[in-house]
């Protein structure tokens, strides 16, 4: 095969491929293919609570709302140790302030105000620091 024949075959193969591609795209599909957008690709995630668990299924962090009578429905963030005890708790509760306790019954006429608190625990669950 001479160089002239080789060049002619190469050009014919390229033209045939190009024509075949154009014809097949006209008959088989006219819409371009794009990746499907899934509903979970939002920039905002909404949930009532998030739990970060380790490989054993133990909760290691919690972000959600309190469930006890003191903090029911109030935002809460907890960090837990390996044994499952909370090590740090950041949240809002409806405890009475010291001044409200001293005022006694008079303070019961006013609804309790939510207060922000941070509590740190040791690995056995004993409070080691609290504010307020």
Specify the pTM. Answer: 0.50
pLDDT, residue 67, reads 76
One domain, residues 61 and 8: no
One domain, residues 18 and 78: no
One domain, residues 74 and 25: no
pLDDT, residue 21, reads 81
One domain, residues 27 and 60: no
pLDDT, residue 109, reads 44
One domain, residues 6 and 68: no
Domain annotation covers residue 40: no
Domain annotation covers residue 41: no
- Would the pLDDT of 17 be above 70? yes
Pairing of strands 127-131, 75-80: unpaired
Domain annotation covers residue 112: yes
One domain, residues 28 and 70: no
Alpha helices in 29-123, H assignment, sequence order: 98-103, 105-108
pLDDT digits over 20-60, tens only?
A: 887 777 777 666 667 666 665 567 778 889 999 999 989 99
Residues contacting residue 91 through CB under 8 Å, at least 6 positions apart? 66, 71, 74, 75, 76, 77, 78, 116, 117
pLDDT, residue 123, reads 81
Cis peptide before 50 (omega within 30 of 0): no
Residues pairing with 77 in the sheet:
63, 90
Name the residue range of residue 68's domain: 50-131
pLDDT digits over 59-103, tens only?
A: 999 999 887 766 677 888 999 988 888 899 888 766 555 554 455
One domain, residues 30 and 58: no
One domain, residues 114 and 83: yes
Write b or e for each residue in 86-106: b if 16 or more Cβ atoms lie within 10 A of its Cβ, otherwise e: bbebebbbbbeeeeeeeeeee
Domain annotation covers residue 54: yes
Alpha-carbon dihedral of residues 94, 100, 105, 111, nearest 10 degrees? -40
One domain, residues 19 and 59: no
Task: Report the domain count for the chain.
Answer: 2
């Amino acid at each position: 095969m001479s160089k002239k024949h080789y060049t002619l075959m190469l050009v014919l193969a390229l033209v045939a491929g190009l024509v075949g591609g154009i014809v097949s795209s006209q008959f088989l599909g006219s819409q371009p293919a794009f990746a499907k957008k899934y509903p979970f690709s939002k920039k905002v995630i909404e949930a009532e609570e998030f739990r970060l668990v380790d490989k054993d299924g133990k909760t290691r962090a919690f972000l959600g709302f309190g469930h006890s009578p003191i903090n029911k429905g109030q935002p809460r963030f907890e960090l837990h140790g390996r044994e499952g005890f909370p090590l740090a708790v950041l949240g809002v509760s409806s405890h009475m302030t010291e001044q409200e306790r001293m005022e006694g019954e008079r303070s019961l006429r006013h609804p309790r105000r939510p207060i922000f608190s941070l509590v740190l625990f040791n690995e056995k669950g004993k409070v080691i620091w609290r504010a307020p």
